[in-house]
Amino acid sequence: MKRFSKITAALTLGLVAALSFSLTAQTPSGAPAIPMPKGDVRQGAPTPGTPPKIQIGKAETFKLDNGLSVIVVENHKLPTVSFQIFVDNDPVLEKDAVGYVQMVGELLTKGTKTRSKVQIDEQVDFLGASLSSSSRGVSGSCLTKHSDKLLEIMADVLMNPVFPEEELEKAKRRQESNLASAKDDANSIAANVGSVLRYGKDHPYGEIMTEASLAKVNLDQIQGFYNTYFKPNISYFVVVGDVTKATAEKYAKQYFGAWKRGDVPKHTYAVPTAPAKTQVDFVNKPGAVQSVINITYPVNLQPGTPEAIKSRVTNALFGGYFNSRINANLREGHGWTYGARSSLSPDKLVGSFNASASVRNAVTDSSLIEFFKEMERMRNEKVPNDELQVVKNVLTGQFSQSLEQPGTIASFALSTARYNYPADYYEKYLEVLQSVTPDDVMKMAKEYITPGRAHVLVVGNKDDVAENLKPFSMSGGKVNFYDVYGNPVEDSKMTVPADMTADKVIEDYINAIGGTEKINTIKDLQITSVLKTPGPEFVVKVWQKGGKVATEMMMNGQKINSRVYDGTTAKENGMGGARDLEGEELTDMKEQAAFCKEATYKAEGYKLTLKGLEAIEGNNAYVVEVERPDGKKSTEYYDMKTSLKIRELSSVEGPDGQPATMTNDFSNYKETAGVLFPNTVTLTGIFPMPVKGEVTELKVNEGIDDSVFKL
């Protein structure tokens, strides 16, 4: 409840901030202490014995005349069955319309020639079944007795989609919201830019969706992809559950036998390679209190090979499970991160290596030193047998546990068919796993863990971090800068006019919104706003008068949070009960009580520093660091042309307890009583999606009863 209270308070005060010229983060920055395991958790490894004999359930396979491959796994423990059509086409380049392939999957279940989306949903719900789709096909599950009915719907969806225009527009709007959120999420940024760096934009794996590419997605592209690649002769029909081979064969012929085969184009691409020498790549996230580190590069590692199993053991040792070396170092040893991990992934086209962690700004370079130290250790020191055995035991347990799921057997059969594995690949998996030696691990490390040929990608605060990364670059200390989509950007610092100071930026802002004289005419202020989220809408009300402030948040007509500051003390009432606000939170409320907090900076002893100029959404803005007398800092951005505040960054405690940067973007300034107020504020950084607040009512000097501010 306390966490929810903090979240609602952040929402409320975010609106107060934007709509009364001020914003202050709600909670202290800095992550809570990380609990550390006692002793050496890697000691006491069981003595290795004979690898257990794996009894993998049998998967029956056959083909229809149209080329559809059928995989059947019987499991009669429950009266349920699942079905999947998997279309095994080569990845395609989407070029300037990245996103249309994904939209194929989004729209498959949104209407057929004989069923509307509503009818499909109602019929599936009536069966108590599930149905989903992707650009690789369709899947569903149901009670055995409903198999025919579900398969009839699946076949209709697969072979008769109409891709409704209105559903495409809805899907695009959902993706626009996702993209807006991803642009402010450091991990999403790292994932996108990492893909571009590893594979390049001329490879399917290096293409990422942007607002511009999404806007170019149309029905012709979607229909064209479907017509070209949705063919039975490159597809698999996977049936798992309470079914026999004979029944599955009947289903396959009855529902998918009429699916017409056709020629499908094959695609080949140049194999991406790691950089010739390690380079440092940086994406600036102003105000970030943490850096997201990714050490990444492509690898030539094919699935189903002996190297794939050996490399999995090697990666697990380095960073592939909780007690891995890099996690033990950065998390247990230094307490710099909640988790450090790595992946070494085989792939038919090109594999990848990635090692990552989120760390405080101050220890970004130190963390990289430890990453590289552990990489070199993997390459140059043989792993002790007992440490290796622990890893093999963990992987054995994971593999054995996965066999409890019938779907695992089907997945094995599908992989065996797709990648041409040896027939006994999975039966001998544990035998091969247990035979991995320290020499094998070192050989794999020398082949696939290459600290001298890597992209060191960091997403973080350039001012705090970038300069310290130069020693890790093998290109003369050069740091390459990119935007959130992996496009190179120049690290050119715009020149601030010689006569501009931080004080003048604030003075110009005050004049731009109406001037001190107009602001001083405000005796009381009432603001009602609506917060638009992917879920319910929230109504936020704010009352300000004579150095006092009260806020109230409503959801579905019910008050869920309120705060009052009477000029001396403050109290909060929320779903977790009532509590007094003290320390930083009390100072926050005092700050919120000002009609224009910027006008109080000088009198209240704030320290202002003009940090430079930065482009914000295409507009050059002055960057001002604001430090309160209690040491709390924020960063404010003022449009160079209009002098209006357009953004503010502050450090807060996120919903997960970790430090986060809250970004408030201000826009839609409108005049009321001679003063400009931002009527729209968009909050990002601490919620899964951007949260937009819109003013619905703003009253100036209409009178507020003093009882509103009574504690």
Using one digit for the tens of pLDDT, what is the confidence trace for 260-276?
999 999 999 999 999 99
**Which two structure tokens, joined as six digits, stand for 561?**
């949070």
Angle between helices 100-107 and 219-229 (to 10 degrees): 80
Determine which of 30-34, 545-549, 618-622, 647-651 has the lowest per-residue pLDDT on average.
30-34
Residue-wise pLDDT tens digits, 50-84:
555 666 778 899 999 999 999 999 999 999 999 99
Instruction: List the chain domain ranges.
Output: 2-30+495-709, 64-256, 279-489
Residue-wise pLDDT tens digits, 288-336:
889 999 999 999 999 999 899 999 999 999 999 999 999 999 999 999 9
Q: What count of residues does the chain have?
A: 711
Q: Which amino acid is at 678?
A: P
Instruction: Give the pLDDT mean for 11-17.
Output: 50
Q: Which amino acid is at 63?
A: K
Residue 490 pLDDT: 80
Q: What is the pTM of this model?
A: 0.80
Residue 54 pLDDT: 65
Nearest to 163 by CA among 123, 213, 124, 109: 109
CA–CA separation, 475 vs 598, rounded Å? 44
Residue 576 contacts residue 2 (beta carbons within 8 Å): yes
Evaluated on CA atoms 143, 144, 145, 150, the torsion sign reads positive
CATH number among 3.30.830.10, 3.90.1150.10, 3.40.50.970, 3.40.640.10, domain 64-256: 3.30.830.10
- Is 64-256's fold the same as 279-489's? yes
CATH number among 3.40.190.10, 1.10.3720.10, 2.50.20.10, 3.40.50.1370, domain 2-30+495-709: 2.50.20.10
Residue-wise pLDDT tens digits, 560-585:
999 999 999 999 998 888 999 999 89
Residue 568 pLDDT: 95
Burial class of residue 374 in the structure, from the number of CB atoms within 10 Å of its CB (0-12 exposed, 13-18 middle, 19+ buried) = buried
Residue 277 confidence (pLDDT) above 50: yes
Residue 547 pLDDT: 94
Instruction: Give the pLDDT mean for 653-666.
Output: 80
Nearest to 188 by CA among 485, 481, 454: 485
CA–CA separation, 564 vs 553, rounded Å? 12
Evaluated on CA atoms 682, 683, 685, 687, the torsion sign reads negative
Residue 517 pLDDT: 96
> In Å, what is the CA distance from 267 to each residue of 95, 199, 229?
14, 16, 12
User: Where does the pLDDT of residue 48 fall: very low under 50, low under 70, confident under 90, or very high at 90 and above?
Assistant: low
Nearest to 672 by CA among 595, 586, 568, 611: 595
User: Where does the pLDDT of residue 1 fall: very low under 50, low under 70, confident under 90, or very high at 90 and above?
Assistant: very low
Q: 3-state class of 438 per DSSP?
A: helix
Which residues pair with residue 609 across a beta bridge? 625
Residue 537 pLDDT: 87
> In Å, what is the CA distance from 605 to each residue of 64, 569, 594, 631?
80, 21, 15, 11
Residue 38 pLDDT: 37
Residue 155 contacts residue 108 (beta carbons within 8 Å): no
Q: Which residues of 661-694 are buried (b: 16+ CB within 10 A; e: fewer)?
A: bbbbbbeebeebeebbbbbbbbbbbbbebbbbbe
Give, for 149, the enclosing helix (H) or strand (E).
helix 147-159
Which residues pair with residue 663 across a beta bridge? 649, 684
Q: In what order do the strands lie in the sheet with 59-63?
A: 59-63, 69-74, 235-241, 80-87, 137-143, 130-134
Residue-wise pLDDT tens digits, 376-416:
999 999 999 999 999 999 999 999 999 888 788 889 999 99
Give backbone dihedrals phi and psi of 36, rounded to 5 degrees, phi first.
-110, 135
Give backbone dihedrals phi and psi of 316, rounded to 5 degrees, phi first.
-60, -45
Determine which of 53-57, 97-101, 277-281, 436-440 has the lowest per-residue pLDDT on average.
53-57
Residue-wise pLDDT tens digits, 72-129:
999 999 999 999 999 999 999 999 999 999 999 999 999 999 999 999 999 999 999 9
Radius of gyration in angstroms for the set of CA atoms belonging to the chain, rounded to a whole number:
29
Residue-wise pLDDT tens digits, 140-179:
999 999 999 999 999 999 999 999 999 999 999 999 989 9
Residue 22 pLDDT: 36
Determine which of 21-25, 515-519, 563-567 has the lowest per-residue pLDDT on average.
21-25
Residue 160 pLDDT: 98
CA–CA separation, 658 vs 686, rounded Å? 10
Most confident of the ranges 184-198, 644-658, 688-702:
184-198
User: Where does the pLDDT of residue 369 fall: very low under 50, low under 70, confident under 90, or very high at 90 and above?
Assistant: very high
Residue 673 pLDDT: 95
Instruction: Give the pLDDT mean for 355-360.
Output: 97
- The percent of residues above 90 in pLDDT, for the chain, comes to 80
Residue 495 pLDDT: 87
Sequence-distant (6+) residues with CB within 8 A of 327 are 319, 339, 340, 341
Identify the CATH number of the domain defined by range 279-489: 3.30.830.10
Please state, rounded to an integer, the average pLDDT across all residues of the chain: 91
Between the two ends of the chain, the Cα-to-Cα distance in Å is: 21
Residue 53 pLDDT: 61
CA–CA separation, 311 vs 436, rounded Å? 10
Give, for 670, the enclosing helix (H) or strand (E).
strand 659-672
